[in-house]
Structure 1
Amino acid sequence: MMAEYLLFGTERYALPILQPLADALQEAGHGVHAWFVDGAKDAALRGGVRPVAHARAAVALRPRAVFSAANWVPTFVSGAKVQVFHGFNVEKRDEARGHFRVRGLFDLYCTQGPATTARFSELAAREGHFKVVETGWPKLDPVFRGEDPLADGWRAAAHGRPVVMFASTFTERLSAAPHLFDAIAAEVAQGARFWLLTLHPKCPPSLFERYRSLAGPNAVFVDPLDLVSAQRAADVLLADTTSVVSEFVVQRKPVVTFRNRAPKPHMLDFDAPDRLGAMLRQAFDPSLSLRAALDAYADDIHPFRDGLSSQRVMAATEALIAGELGVLRRKPVASLLRQLQIRRDLGYWGRAARTPSR
């Protein structure tokens, strides 16, 4: 039976997370709508996904479920509220403020792998107002499925040279981009490797200008929306404390990190820009212990390699709606203030929509 679903995001990085889910829902014959606000307000998904212009339109839609790639979700819209996450846990903040913060807004958390499932399951058992199912992450479906002409084009442009991808977080105190520009520029000029350069969409425009200036026969600047294609094309990643590190490691490829906040055995971490060349040489000739660490970490954060995480998210949502995951307790009173803030921010003070009967 056809149903209507709503995809929700607050930043442009939500697009590559939600697009595979939109595709899977449409392949199953459902209607798919997208509501983007704040930093993603003018964004759109491909393939016939219908945009939602404002809160009243979202309420009138009465979706069967709302899938959010943000920290929050408009609770006044009908349907199951499903958290699909905007990134991996890279330990930028302590647990109380970071990845495992429970805001009392979601009914279902679709986790990426054992590393996050275990902790969220503990919280669900304690709180009782949400369920947890390990599904994998929709964003990574294209990494493991289908052809990628963009990635193939970049590999062709490399003319047989090794391919390095550079990605950086926007968090100023953690960003490698300002510190590594000169070292990366020197590597690009040398031409021994082909570079795919990208930055988080929220990085300062001046940084975008500097890194775009390196584009030429030895490098291209990659739109942040094409991150997955870049990950497929690259042999090695250079980064910092961005969640792209975890996304890349899922492919079992080496990563070099600059001053990572919480370096792990699967990373080649360094803190002096003049060591960049040596670190890259080490990454392109990884030791057996490094390969073992990459495998172990990848299995822990995202063991799925079939490209079917979107379908698992859909199945978990249906199980929740059907009551197969058990009964949910009422949302905590503490979440009411956040719900009022969401209404204020989205300009909606009407009645909350009732979920249609199933």
Structure 2
Amino acid sequence: MMAEYLLFATERYALPILKPLASALQDAGHGVHAWLVDGATGATLPAPVRMVGGARDAVALRPRAVFSAANWVPPFVAGAKVQLFHGFNVEKREDARGHFRVRGLFDLYCTQGPATTAPFQALSARAGHFKVVETGWPKLDPLFGPEDPLAARLRAAAGGRPVAMFASTFTERLSAAPHLHAAIAAQVAAGERYWLLTLHPKCDPGLVEHYRALAGDNACFVETEQLVSAERAADVLVADTTSVVSEFVVQRKPVITFRNRAPKPHMLDFDDPAALPAMLELGFAPPAELRAELAAYADRIHPYRDGRSSQRVLAATDALLAGELGPLRRRPPGAALRSLQIRRELGYWGPAAR
């Protein structure tokens, strides 16, 4: 039976998370709508996804479920509230303030792998107002699906050369982008490897333009919506404490990190920009022990390599709505205050859907 579903995002970088889920919903014969606010305003998802104009339209839609790739979700819209996450846990902050912060807004957390499932299950057992199902992450479905045309074009542009990718977080104290620009520019000029360059959309616009200016015969700049294709096309990643590191590692490909906040054995971490050439040599010829660490970490954070995480999200949502996951307790008192804050942010004071 056809049902209506709502996809919710507050930033452009959420679109690659929601797009595979939209395809899975459409394949199942459901209606798919998207409500994009804040930093995602003005963006779109491909038809037949229908864009929601505002809060009143979202309430009137009465979706069966709302899938959020943000830290929050509008509680006054009907349907199960499902958290998809906007990234991996890269330990930018303490757990209580970061990846494992529970805000009292969601009914279901769809976790990416064992490393996050167990902590959220422990939180669920104590709180009782949400359920947890390990599904894998929809954003990574295209990494393991059929051939990606954009990834193929990026590889073709390399002309047979090895492909390096650079990505950086927007968190200023953790960003490698200001420190590595000169070293990367030298590598691009040398032309030994082809470079895919991307920065978080919240990065300083001037810095983004510095990296865009490196595009040419030996490099191209990749927009945030094209990130997964770039990850698929690249052989080695150079980054910092961005969650792109974990996304890339899921493929068992080497990652070189600059001053990572919590470096781990699967990373090639360094702190001197002058060391970049040597780190690249090591990344493109990784020893067996590094490959083993990459595989082990990938299995902990995202063991799914079948490209069907979106389908598991839908199955988990169906199980929740059918009562198969058990009853939910009432939301915590703080959720009411957060609901009022969300209404104010969205400018909606009308009735909630019933």
- Under TM normalisation by the shorter chain, which class is it? over 0.9
1:234 to partner: Cα distance: 0.2
1:351 to partner: Cα distance: 1.7
1:47 to partner: Cα distance: 2.7
Q: TM-score, normalised on structure 1? A: 0.98
- The one-letter amino acid of 1:236's match is V
- 341-350 or 296-305, which deviates more: 341-350
Which residue does the alignment assign to 2:81? 81
Which residue does the alignment assign to 2:204? 204
Superposed, 1:116-155 pairs within 5 Å as 116-155=116-155
Which residue does the alignment assign to 2:262? 262
Matches of 2:208 and 2:225, distance apart in 1: 14
- The one-letter amino acid of 1:333's match is P
Q: TM-score, normalised on structure 2? A: 0.99
Superposed, 1:133-282 pairs within 5 Å as 133-282=133-282
> Please, which runs of 5 or more residues in structure 1 have no aligned partner?
none
Matches of 2:224 and 2:40, distance apart in 1: 13
1:274 to partner: Cα distance: 0.1
- 152-161 or 124-133, which deviates more: 152-161
- The one-letter amino acid of 2:338's match is R
- The one-letter amino acid of 2:36's match is F
Which residue does the alignment assign to 2:347? 347
**Which of structure 1's runs of 4+ aligned residues deviate more than 4 A?**
none
Matches of 1:154 and 1:344, distance apart in 2: 43
Which residue does the alignment assign to 2:7? 7
Which residue does the alignment assign to 1:62? 62
Matches of 1:320 and 1:257, distance apart in 2: 39
Whether the 8 Å CA contact 1:23–1:47 is kept in 2: the answer is no
Is 1:36 the equivalent of 2:36?
A: yes
What RMSD in Å do the two structures reach over aligned CA positions? Answer: 0.5
Matches of 1:35 and 1:157, distance apart in 2: 35
- The one-letter amino acid of 1:182's match is A
1:295 to partner: Cα distance: 0.4
Which residue does the alignment assign to 2:323? 323
Matches of 2:41 and 2:217, distance apart in 1: 35
- For these two proteins, the number of residue pairs brought into alignment is 354
Which residue does the alignment assign to 1:16? 16
Matches of 1:309 and 1:47, distance apart in 2: 21
1:208 to partner: Cα distance: 1.2
Whether the 8 Å CA contact 1:64–1:78 is kept in 2: the answer is yes
1:335 to partner: Cα distance: 1.3
- The one-letter amino acid of 1:120's match is F
- The one-letter amino acid of 1:25's match is L
Which residue does the alignment assign to 1:46? 46
Matches of 1:73 and 1:185, distance apart in 2: 41
SS at match of 2:199: coil
- The one-letter amino acid of 1:339's match is S
1:289 to partner: Cα distance: 1.0
Matches of 1:221 and 1:324, distance apart in 2: 46
Deviations 1:11-41 (A, max 9, x none): 0001000000001000100000000000001
Deviations 1:165-217 (A, max 9, x none): 00000000000000000000000001100000000011111011100111111
Superposed, 1:71-110 pairs within 5 Å as 71-110=71-110
1:76 to partner: Cα distance: 0.3
1:245 to partner: Cα distance: 0.1
- The one-letter amino acid of 1:188's match is V
> Please, which runs of 5 or more residues in structure 2 have no aligned partner?
none
- The one-letter amino acid of 2:237's match is L
Whether the 8 Å CA contact 1:35–1:54 is kept in 2: the answer is yes
Which residue does the alignment assign to 2:287? 287
SS at match of 2:172: coil
- The one-letter amino acid of 1:268's match is L
- The one-letter amino acid of 1:325's match is L
Matches of 2:8 and 2:156, distance apart in 1: 36
SS at match of 2:332: coil
Percent of counterpart pairs with the same letter? 77
Matches of 1:211 and 1:178, distance apart in 2: 10
Deviations 1:285-309 (A, max 9, x none): 1111101100000000000000000
1:154 to partner: Cα distance: 1.2
Matches of 1:6 and 1:268, distance apart in 2: 40
- The one-letter amino acid of 1:285's match is A
- The one-letter amino acid of 1:330's match is R
SS at match of 1:197: strand
Matches of 2:268 and 2:49, distance apart in 1: 41
- The one-letter amino acid of 1:335's match is A
